Amino acid sequence: MTTDTTTKDTAPGAPAPGTTILDARGVTMRFGGLTAVNGVDLTVGSGEIVGLIGPNGAGKTTFFNCLTGLYIPTEGEVRYKDKVLPAKSFKVTAAGVARTFQNIRLFGNMSVLENVLVGRHTRTKEGFWSAVLRGPGFHRAEKASRERALELLEFVGLAAKADHLARNLPYGEQRKLEIARALASEPGLLLLDEPTAGMNPQETRATEELVFAIRDKGIAVLVIEHDMRFIFNLCDRVAVLVQGEKLIEGDSATVQGDERVVAAYLGEPLANDPGAAEAAEVEAAEAAQASGADTTTDTAAGKENDR
């Protein structure tokens, strides 16, 4: 399994790679007495794909919601292109950060094309009067929006289904449509919340290609995912969130090799291990059988690396 982490050539219009576009500093989110996210720092450079992993309940989605203005962080601030992001989610989208949702949230009873057109909302201005009076400007804007939306559907491979109802699409295509809808707002940074959840390996692979293609358009991507192969193939950097705190951040190799990450996912051995006695018995038996020199800890670590 090769890990492809080299940054491909970015599109010409994109900002120079390496400049930080998203800068979250000390983001803390408390719900009453519960601290869901605690002092997390995270940066995303332009043209970068950053992964965010962590066990269930680690606060990944809460952190996403803080970034996109659905929650207002209790402490800390989020800057996008050196401006503090506003605390309203629609303003965040207008500023250039778009997102998808963990549990797909399409407009089910609108057509596929209309869903993408809704995504164009922030990039068009035609209001109520324009719609009622229907001047030439309205028709021009509407036509441009439709063209752009169809382009995006072409990009994600849904152009043939533009007239279908969103709710009738198969699961994988709904995910794609959600990405197309987010892209329609012309973001500089795309936040994907578990884009491959529930997908089969082929679909996951296709999503991977899609994310690379999005990056090649010059859009930075921050992605939450549980599929480790997907994350380590895709991401330039990976951050691990455990119990609301950032454990480690670095390239795939660093993160994969880190013992604390392994422990966070599988749990640490307890201090006075209740199963220790049995384990020791088994160990002894194994040792007698194999008469090898391997210690148990080594085997465990080795297994972990196989993942």
Partner 1 sequence: MTTQTTAPKTAGASAAADTSGLIGIPAPLGRALATGGGVLTVVSTFLAWTWTAEFPGDLTVYGYPGGLQVLVLVAGALTTLFGLASYGVKGLRWLVPAGADAALKFAALAAFAATWYTIVAISAQLGGLVNLEPGGYVAAAATLIALVGSLALPFERPEPDPIDPDDAGWEQFKHTASHHWQTVKAAFATGTPRPVRALPSYAEILIIVAVLAIALLVFTYGIGTEYDELFVGFLIVAGLGFAAVHRAGLIAQATEITSRHQNITVCGAFVAAACFPFTQSDDQYATLGVYILIFATVALGLNIVVGLAGLLDLGYVAFLGVGAYAAALVSGSPSSPFDVHFPFWAAVIVGALASLVFGVLIGAPTLRLRGDYLAIVTLGFGEIFRITANNLDGTSGPDLTNGSNGVSSIPDLKILGLDLGVQHDIGGFTIGRFANYFFLMLIITAVVVLVFRRSGDSRIGRAWVAIREDETAALAMGINGFRVKLIAFAVGATLAGLAGTVQAHVTYTVTPEQYLFAGTTPPNSAFLLAAVVLGGMGTIAGPLIGASLLFLIPNKLQFLGDYQLFAFGLALVLLMRFRPEGLIANRRRKLEFHEEAEAPTTLSKTGA
Interface residues with partner 1 (CB under 8 A) are 68, 70, 88-90, 93-94, 98-99, 101, 105-111, 113-114, 117-122, 124, 126-128, 130-132, 134, 138, 141-142, 145, 163-165, 167-168, 181-182, 185
d(CA 232, CA 34): 31
* Distance of closest approach, residue 128 Cβ to partner 1, in angstroms: 5
Closer residue to partner 1, CB minimum distance, 85 or 264: 85
Closer residue to partner 1, CB minimum distance, 117 or 238: 117
- Give kind and range of the element (H or E) at residue 255: helix 252-257
d(CA 225, CA 278): 36
Q: How many CB atoms lie within 10 A of CB 233?
A: 21
d(CA 33, CA 35): 6
Residue pair 131/138 in contact by the 8 Å Cβ criterion: yes
* Distance of closest approach, residue 276 Cβ to partner 1, in angstroms: 48
Closer residue to partner 1, CB minimum distance, 167 or 260: 167
Closer residue to partner 1, CB minimum distance, 7 or 122: 122
Residue pair 49/215 in contact by the 8 Å Cβ criterion: yes
* Distance of closest approach, residue 106 Cβ to partner 1, in angstroms: 7
Closer residue to partner 1, CB minimum distance, 130 or 296: 130
Residue pair 63/52 in contact by the 8 Å Cβ criterion: yes
d(CA 58, CA 261): 12
Residue pair 97/188 in contact by the 8 Å Cβ criterion: yes
* Distance of closest approach, residue 10 Cβ to partner 1, in angstroms: 25
Closer residue to partner 1, CB minimum distance, 70 or 159: 70
Instruction: Name the token pair of 249.
Output: 């951040």
Amino acid at 25: R
* Distance of closest approach, residue 294 Cβ to partner 1, in angstroms: 51
Residue 165, φ and ψ in degrees, nearest 5: -75, 140
* Distance of closest approach, residue 68 Cβ to partner 1, in angstroms: 6
